[in-house]
Structure 1
């Protein structure tokens, strides 16, 4: 069959070519061993990089990930090979644009906030759409993916929607598809204003199935393709439907992959500059780390984009290793460590809820992150503690996170340290008393304390080490060389509702907003297979 030039819904530069090929049956692959310079293995992102979408603009790929109650919200990453990803910013700098409950003085709406969305590039602007399940649909735009991003525009102020995706057709007409999960998961297609900021009708039902959501729209080779997932007897499974018009009817559909470990089911279809196709998907089942992400080769068979290795039944099968789309050298480690030498916060960090801006600084003591202690909304609850700065702990074989902290300005009653938290919390901190400092490791139902150390101590080091199973050990040091374990092994947990465990830096004072610490550096080393 001859190949024809096609156009995807996002405006990429270059020609997009769909190879319609046949393929012999393939058995599902087992997980591989060590990745090499020319091959990658899944998951490519072994942490909470959930609810993703991916596009290519020119030769650069862009990836977004939903962040729930974390701020800034909607992580944006970039790559030149679809395997190595680097965080470059966020689309939502202030969660209180959605609702005041996400502010530091309330800290309400756990696992709500910024849900799944889509990123598109149209008329030289980037668009990010997402929903809050309680407050509706929002859009923000920027000329550069790093930002600045515009203030949020409410597009539909109604609860019960998720997984929006815009589409601009060849004639400039705009549409948006999303799921009304509050109304038996009906997927509706809306006409939209050309600037993408207003819906023009109440929408028509495009599809309805059990738990049908995760919609994306593509136009390929003269067909409109509607991607979605739904719950089947096999599990949550991704499908494509297609029609000759945007409104349908979408009478043809195809299952794209059989159920695999973690249920890959939501993400974005993308074509490389060389003409190959891939799908970046999150795994719908959350481990303790949340929803990981994998990269799957796409094989076009009879006009359908099958994931992984097609079988004799015309359905794809999961692959855990494949040749890299572009040979760029070894697999890089995600950006995690920070020496706090910048005047702005590095993009791998997110606050737990909207932070109190007058209680942290990167400029008052250049080269350090200064955290001021605040009185918590609820004592002994990290999830009710102001200005907890978080990262994603990775689900890899060996992980070691170490922080060096200056504590000379701590006051009596103040605590500061390092936490791993989700539905439960494990943390190690130093607490100041009238007689000196003590290291304390708090875990569910246990609290272990060290002997009192000299009140003249200026620096302390905290460390958390964990394995792929999420079994963590906390330790401390007063010289940065010799570390003492404190407390039993802690089992990491996610938050439920798919938000993965977080690693957090914090300080707190149960009696008053007094005292501060200066964090010199945070180093995180992960060993990936």
Structure 2
């Protein structure tokens, strides 16, 4: 009877998860009635870590090849978040492959990291699969961040975290996911002591504290005098949250599974940060490891302590947590925060929502050459044929995350008066799996509207005006339609409906592009970018 009862409870939970996940784009985040619905950020905020400092909450999210790198988020209630900056200004300090003239690191670049606050500073550590581990610190999470420092040049490692013990000793934990001939295993989790400045490892202190299939997502905590090592691993049911605890960092460690997962229903929440509120309640801010076209979205899960273990989500009869799709808000904050999308380009710097695809060519874009406009100068994509270039290899494409909500509309007003022969400019959606563009192509002295889908063009009407409005509209399923206007009022759909996609562990991006397959010539001015979701 007990087995039947557990099965029935699990069945009801799965039905609830299926219903809520199927509706999550209709209802997400703060419901304005004291409750919230997951995800709280329905877009690509992957590889999260989060902390509390006083009454403020901070999180970081990996950015891979996008620049500036490692986005920093801020919240007052753990439900409503804003972007306040990035840790890495110049990706070429990591690798030349991340520059506009290489663009050779899709799926690589800045992977998961940790954010911590100790010694009166914020500390961010992260790794790349090819270049090793890096760190930076700042007195404010909004920056400025210190120049990037390489902690260890190594390949085949990921998912690191720093930790400051009560005596001030610094530690560093990370996973070696490659095969280790000494242990004859993969996914060995190593613990090191660090030098007092936090910039170098004491390699002689290297200790393997855990190994299991796919064990990553490392975080270290000390709670009530007990050390907790959080990580995730791959079991038959999927990637689950795990934790081990010990009275000493040297062990012995006890281990416990924190949640059950269903990849189709709950999208495997796993990578994230454990946070205690001032009222002593606990939450876990996490991404969903199984991504869809919007990427790996972010959810907030309540935590219940059971026999000294932080169980994530709704605690089942077996003492293991399940996904929670709605709950009471942790904090009622009067400060209204949100992810900004629109930009009129009147500021001397780009808004925090913007990230370039790879490190941009700095002399080829400007916010000052025509005040109140973003000017993009065209140059050749890498490996362009002279008749066609790929948006995936075109430098200075300015992007932001595509939200998965009920209705999403992006509109840009673009001046094309100074386009040149061979130039393409407009609006794009892209991932490494597929891409589309709608824009203007100049050939000789003529300009035409052109739609591209994975390298295939559909040419439209000749454009004689100097200004055009371009629009992209997509729904909760990622079905996108482009349209255009010559007046800014009536918009005409162009080409068919396409499906937004994700690729290389990144969600779809909406972006503005301008390139020239014949050479470095021509420019466009974007008057504004309006994003309603």
* In 2, Cα distance between equivalents of 1:146 and 1:329: 21
Q: 1:67 to 1:290 in 2, by over 3 A?
A: same
1:85 aligns with 2:81: yes
Aligned position for 1:102? 98
- Aligned counterpart in structure 1 of residue 236 of structure 2, from 233, 241, 265: 233
1:304 aligns with 2:304: no
Deviation of residue 446 (structure 1)?
4.2
Aligned position for 1:412? 421
* In 2, Cα distance between equivalents of 1:488 and 1:132: 38
**In 1, are the aligned partners of 2:421 and 2:518 still within 8 Å (CA)?**
no
**In 2, are the aligned partners of 1:409 and 1:517 still within 8 Å (CA)?**
yes
Q: Secondary structure at the match of 2:203?
A: coil
Deviation of residue 149 (structure 1)?
1.1
Map Cα deviations across residues 39-78 of structure 1 (whole Å, 9 max, x no partner).
1110111111000100111111111000000111000010
1:452 aligns with 2:459: no
1:440 aligns with 2:439: no
Deviation of residue 413 (structure 1)?
2.1
- Aligned counterpart in structure 1 of residue 401 of structure 2, from 392, 396, 401: 392
Aligned position for 1:524? 531
Q: Runs of 5+ in structure 2 lacking a partner?
A: 1-8, 180-185
- Aligned counterpart in structure 1 of residue 138 of structure 2, from 119, 142, 146: 142
1:278 aligns with 2:289: no
* In 2, Cα distance between equivalents of 1:333 and 1:235: 32
Deviation of residue 136 (structure 1)?
0.4
Deviation of residue 330 (structure 1)?
9.8
* In 2, Cα distance between equivalents of 1:69 and 1:384: 12
Map Cα deviations across residues 403-440 of structure 1 (whole Å, 9 max, x no partner).
11111111222111000011111110111234532111
* In 2, Cα distance between equivalents of 1:219 and 1:475: 54
Deviating more after overlay: 433-442 vs 475-484: 433-442
* In 2, Cα distance between equivalents of 1:257 and 1:270: 17
1:54 aligns with 2:50: yes
Aligned position for 1:22? none
Deviation of residue 445 (structure 1)?
6.4
Map Cα deviations across residues 271-293 of structure 1 (whole Å, 9 max, x no partner).
11222110001111111111111
Q: Secondary structure at the match of 2:43?
A: coil
Aligned position for 1:465? 473
Q: Secondary structure at the match of 1:151?
A: coil
**In 2, are the aligned partners of 1:462 and 1:476 still within 8 Å (CA)?**
yes
Aligned position for 1:217? 220
- Aligned counterpart in structure 2 of residue 504 of structure 1, from 511, 514, 520: 511
Deviation of residue 368 (structure 1)?
0.7
* In 2, Cα distance between equivalents of 1:254 and 1:36: 36
**In 2, are the aligned partners of 1:37 and 1:327 still within 8 Å (CA)?**
no
Deviating more after overlay: 217-226 vs 435-444: 435-444
Map Cα deviations across residues 210-258 of structure 1 (whole Å, 9 max, x no partner).
01000101101121000000001111110111000012121x1221111
- Aligned counterpart in structure 2 of residue 488 of structure 1, from 472, 485, 496: 496
- Aligned counterpart in structure 2 of residue 124 of structure 1, from 88, 110, 120: 120
Deviation of residue 100 (structure 1)?
1.1
Q: Secondary structure at the match of 1:383?
A: helix
Q: Secondary structure at the match of 2:44?
A: coil
- Aligned counterpart in structure 2 of residue 427 of structure 1, from 437, 452, 469: 437
Map Cα deviations across residues 366-417 of structure 1 (whole Å, 9 max, x no partner).
1111110111113321111010001000122211111111111112221110
**In 1, are the aligned partners of 2:423 and 2:516 still within 8 Å (CA)?**
yes
Map Cα deviations across residues 272-318 of structure 1 (whole Å, 9 max, x no partner).
12221100011111111111110001111111111111011101111
- Aligned counterpart in structure 2 of residue 73 of structure 1, from 69, 72, 83: 69
